[in-house]
């Protein structure tokens, strides 16, 4: 197998050819790009290049984070500047080839900005709020390197952290560096990552397992999938570092079935890593071995709970396990196991390569490093933004996201997924800090922030969240199974203006019982959305209960219509399903 020096030399040579010999055209083709038509744009670019006889490198890359601007076409001319075009559909793509690539003339419209050398008439991309306020660590390669080319990752410093760990660091040194960085888990619980790794060290092996959780079932969260679509090798390097530090022998990337983009790109990255000697036996000729595979299992939200995830990997129904024993002692297939999500593991390479101080100096209080925020809803610039911990919600929503469009006022933020909380407009001074957000009645969770304007009813939003949690309860423990059903029944009554005396108090009683008696976080946190809604939007509930009216009118829909918008109430009988388009012509 080649040495690291040989791999790096080959990668540097390929990179130099890529950026200097002929035009390099990159198209953002992650989920957001594909939804905006990136695959059609790629086809149009390829066809136009062929028609004009232009020899160019054409790569599908991940997302720069500016999801609102997709499809993004990114062109680097030999000896020239890197110019990016936004919202570039097939027609715009053809104009860009004819004008900019063929003649060096910038076409009218679609110019997003330049990177590197200035381009007359184009703004500096790094000066735009969506880029200027970011601090990219886990996303530093997203949108810049092709996820299917390991050499591009190597040319940009990839696997240097693993090489450093294997050559000059002991496993205990790696764990101490992660502890010193202050890295806390980005999956919701925010537990110290280094300490969690140390638990696995004490367990006997082999085998021992590193599980990477990319179940990511939160509505409004897409950062784990975004990393896998943009830079899967960073995750593989992070998993390898965790394996070396803990004495683990095997890694498993758990991805929800049906997420084809992350699945395909991760599997290809694993295949390349084996081919280059970066996974498997005798990695980088050091005598250390580590294997990684993808597990395509899990179709429920509870699969994201770490013990339920292990059941899903084993081919069982995803249901949380009683603890103790904890996964570090008895995990997947009864073997010692450590579980982190994609974001957490993807920070490890930069911590080891650049030093723990480079991470710990970013952030605030005990929340160090960055947060990867998925910004969606009623917002001008939805996207995937990596920002320093300590930034306020107001800076994220207004400065980066551009605020609420259409002249509307901000009413609420839904943070941390369906088990998170609802915050009001008065909460914009709250910082991205695990502990500060928890004190405010919300959680940062996996980083999703859904923005809602003044036309949104808090009762309606709350019942949607409760309906999701009720449907996704695995049903194993009685407090969650019946508690979520009871909460949904009550919130439905309130939304229909049929509330009964004492309903609010009853929900509190049910919620507190769930918190103290449920087996896992799904039930323990299930009352969170209602509690925070009571705290920040008492007036909306008062109107429904006392005045029998909805402040926005969104709760006036017939009950049947409301229920049929929810996954648990959809009627899948043949008579209820629409006829497929074109069926009459088959």
Q: Over 50: is that where the pLDDT of 564 sits?
A: no
Cα separation, 30 vs 32, whole angstroms? 6
pLDDT for 565 equals: 43
Crossing angle of the two packed helices 503-517 and 528-536, in degrees rounded to 10: 140
pLDDT tens sequence across 379-407: 999 999 999 999 999 999 999 999 999 99
Q: Which of 9-13, 52-56, 317-321, 369-373 has the lowest mean pLDDT?
A: 317-321
Q: Looking at per-residue confidence, does 389 or 560 come out higher?
A: 389
Q: Which CATH number fits domain 19-128: 3.40.630.10, 3.40.30.10, 3.40.50.720, 3.40.190.10?
A: 3.40.30.10
The gap from C-alpha 56 to its chain's centroid, in whole angstroms, comes to 32
CATH second-level architecture of 158-359? 3-Layer(aba) Sandwich (3.40)
pLDDT for 298 equals: 67
Question: Nearest CA to 367 among 185, 539, 551?
Answer: 185
Which DSSP string corresponds to 72-127? PEEEE-TTS-EEEESS--HHHHHHHIIIIIHH--PPSS-EEEEESS--TT--BGGG
State whether CATH 3.40.50.10800 applies to domain 364-453: no
Q: Looking at per-residue confidence, does 571 or 437 come out higher?
A: 437
Q: Which CATH number fits domain 458-569: 3.40.50.620, 1.20.1440.230, 3.40.50.1110, 3.40.50.300?
A: 1.20.1440.230
Cα separation, 75 vs 57, whole angstroms? 10
pLDDT for 433 equals: 95
Q: Helix, strand, or coil here: 269?
A: helix
Q: Are 555 and 547 in contact (CB under 8 A)?
A: no
pLDDT for 129 equals: 85
Mean pLDDT for 301-305 is: 88
Structural element, H or E, at residue 246: helix 232-246
Q: What percent of the chain has pLDDT over 70?
A: 95
pLDDT tens sequence across 174-217: 999 999 999 999 987 889 999 999 999 999 989 999 999 998 88
Q: Are 309 and 197 in contact (CB under 8 A)?
A: no
- C-alpha gyration radius of the chain: 25
Q: Over 80: is that where the pLDDT of 297 sits?
A: no
Beta-carbon contacts of 234 under 8 Å, excluding residues fewer than 6 positions away, are 138, 141, 153, 158, 227, 346, 349
Written as six digits, the tokens of 283 are: 């990695």
Q: Are 27 and 45 in contact (CB under 8 A)?
A: yes
Mean pLDDT for 72-80 is: 92
Q: Over 70: is that where the pLDDT of 219 sits?
A: yes
Q: Helix, strand, or coil here: 417?
A: coil
- Token pair 């108090």 is at which residue? 505
Q: How confident is the model at residue 563 (pLDDT cuts 50, 70, 90)?
A: very low
pLDDT tens sequence across 355-381: 999 999 999 999 999 999 999 999 999
N-to-C CA span, the chain: 54
Beta-carbon contacts of 449 under 8 Å, excluding residues fewer than 6 positions away, are 220, 373, 374, 375, 376, 377, 393, 396, 397, 413, 414, 415
Domain-by-domain residue ranges, the chain? 19-128, 158-359, 364-453, 458-569
Q: Which of 436-440, 557-561, 571-575 has the lowest mean pLDDT?
A: 571-575
Q: Over 70: is that where the pLDDT of 583 sits?
A: no
pLDDT for 303 equals: 87
Structural element, H or E, at residue 449: strand 448-453
Q: Over 80: is that where the pLDDT of 570 sits?
A: no
Return mean pLDDT, the chain.
Answer: 91
Q: Look up residue 395 and give its DSSP letter.
A: I
Cα separation, 312 vs 319, whole angstroms? 8
The pTM is what? 0.92
């Amino acid at each position: 197998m080649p040495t690291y020096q040989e791999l790096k030399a080959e990668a540097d040579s390929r990179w130099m050819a890529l950026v200097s010999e002929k035009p390099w055209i990159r198209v953002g083709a992650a989920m957001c790009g594909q939804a905006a038509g990136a695959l059609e744009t790629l086809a149009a670019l390829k066809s136009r290049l062929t028609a004009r006889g232009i020899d160019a490198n054409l790569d599908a890359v991940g997302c720069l984070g500016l999801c609102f601007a997709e499809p993004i076409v990114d062109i680097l001319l030999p000896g020239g500047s890197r110019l990016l075009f936004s919202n570039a559909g097939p027609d715009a793509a053809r104009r860009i080839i004819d004008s900019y690539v063929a003649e060096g003339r910038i076409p009218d419209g679609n110019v997003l900005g330049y990177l590197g050398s200035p381009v007359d008439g184009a703004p500096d991309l790094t000066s735009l709020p969506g880029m200027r306020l970011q601090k990219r660590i886990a996303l530093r390669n997203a949108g810049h390197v092709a996820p299917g080319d390991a050499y591009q990752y190597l040319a940009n410093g990839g696997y240097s952290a693993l090489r450093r760990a294997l050559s000059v660091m002991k496993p205990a040194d790696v764990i101490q560096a992660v502890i010193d960085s202050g890295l806390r888990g980005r999956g919701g619980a925010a537990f110290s990552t280094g300490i969690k790794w140390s638990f696995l060290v004490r367990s006997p092996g082999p085998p021992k397992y590193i599980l990477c959780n990319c179940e990511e079932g939160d509505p409004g969260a897409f950062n784990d999938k975004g990393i896998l679509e943009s830079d899967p090798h960073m995750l593989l390097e992070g998993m390898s570092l965790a394996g070396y530090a803990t004495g683990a022998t095997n890694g498993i990337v758990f991805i929800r079935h049906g997420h084809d983009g992350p699945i395909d790109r991760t599997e290809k990255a694993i295949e390349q890593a084996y081919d280059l000697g970066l996974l498997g036996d005798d990695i980088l000729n050091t005598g250390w071995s580590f294997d990684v595979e993808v597990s395509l299992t899990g179709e429920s939200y509870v699969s994201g709970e770490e013990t339920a995830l292990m059941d899903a990997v084993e081919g069982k129904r995803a249901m949380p396990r009683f603890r103790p024993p904890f996964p570090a002692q008895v995990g997947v297939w009864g073997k010692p196991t450590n579980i982190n999500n994609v974001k957490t593991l993807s920070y490890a390479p930069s911590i080891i390569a650049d030093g723990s101080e480079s991470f710990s100096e970013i952030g605030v209080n005990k929340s160090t490093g960055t947060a990867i925020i998925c910004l969606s809803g009623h917002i001008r610039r939805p996207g995937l933004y990596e920002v320093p911990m300590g930034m306020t919600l107001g800076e994220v929503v207004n400065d980066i996201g551009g605020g609420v469009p259409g002249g509307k006022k901000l009413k609420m933020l839904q943070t941390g997924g369906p088990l998170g909380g609802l915050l009001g407009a008065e909460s914009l001074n709250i910082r991205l800090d695990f502990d500060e957000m928890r004190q405010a009645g919300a959680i940062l969770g996996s980083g999703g922030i859904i923005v809602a304007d003044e036309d949104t009813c808090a009762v309606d939003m709350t019942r949607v969240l409760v309906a999701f949690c009720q449907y996704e309860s695995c049903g194993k423990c009685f407090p969650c199974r019946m508690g979520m059903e009871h909460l949904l029944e009550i919130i439905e009554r309130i939304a229909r203006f049929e509330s009964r005396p004492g309903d609010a108090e009853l929900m509190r009683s049910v919620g507190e019982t769930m918190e103290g008696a449920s087996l896992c976080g799904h039930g323990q946190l299930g009352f969170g959305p209602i509690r925070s809604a009571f705290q920040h939007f008492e007036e909306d509930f008062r109107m429904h209960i006392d005045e029998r009216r909805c402040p926005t009118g969104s709760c006036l829909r017939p009950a049947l219509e409301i229920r049929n918008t929810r996954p648990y109430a959809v009627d899948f009988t043949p008579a209820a399903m629409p006829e497929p388009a074109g069926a009459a012509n088959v």
